Structure 1
Amino acid sequence: RNVPCENETKIHLGWCLIDPKTVEKTLPMLTELGVHKITFIHCRRSQQNFRLDFERFERIMESSIMQCGRTSLIELAESPALGTFLDENPDSVILDFCDNVLQHGEKMETVVIGCEGGFDASERKLFSAHRVRSLKSPMILRSETAAVAVISMSL
């Protein structure tokens, strides 16, 4: 069977940079969930010594698509700063702590997830023109858990 197997919704994850080893563990789940693109964002609280190995990430995704039946790899990109990313993706929904809870199936094409420690005050000032949502959970989630949860809710 040579029919493409992809999600109808092309979700773009703006993911503030975390430890690449954690990204490697999470990539198979994001591949299976049908994420179209991941842009790794260098945020104020991201550790600056992390180096992304896109070739390694692609090998991990290739193994994952063989198991789940997906027919394409997640597109990978990098952004130097959150402000740059938001300028390039003005319709982004931002996951942060607030009173506006993300609803299951809420329409979003691009979602931004913070790194460990979350966003700093200067980054939060950039959010005024964007939808900011939280998850309906009293727990503070790790970045990778939040990414999987938000993508799952968008399906």
Structure 2
Amino acid sequence: MTAAQTPKRWQESGWHLWWLMVALVVADQFTKWLVVANMDLFSRINLLPFFDLVHVRNYGAAFSFLSDQGGWQRWFFTAIAIAISTVIAVLLRRQPKAMTTANWAFALILGGALGNLIDRTRLGYVVDFLDFYVGSYHWPAFNVADSAIVIGAGLMIYEGFFGQSAKDAGKNAK
């Protein structure tokens, strides 16, 4: 995309989805507040045979990566989240509104990243509370922000394989 193709107004860009990012941050922070206000740390409420609400803290990244490193990882992951969020925000501003799937993907990822960034900077950890499992195997607990990031990443993968740019690449290869 050239500078001439960059939308002149933010309303004509991916930023038209600002409301989605705000809604995700609000939903994420509200659900985390509900868990912290109503559940003791490490408590569990069984809701379905494969799903519990839990109250846990994640001091690391995905799957508690580096959670036992003594505190430096808080600022490391904060810096990474700020850098990635900045890049995604710039990409959203530069993309035309018509790039629907990519814009939704970036908006979901950015909203989720900001939700977890708020926790990490305010608390030093991320509050997780959704626990899915089969038998004794438990998927690592996660939250609304994590869900948005995963859905956004899935949309990006879909766009890469089946979106307009993938179709254009197929036409050019012939």
Query: TM tier, shorter chain?
Result: 0.3 to 0.5
* TM-score normalised by length of structure 2: 0.30
Would you tell me which structure has more helix in proportion to its own residues?
2
Length-normalised TM-score, structure 1: 0.33
Higher Rg: 2
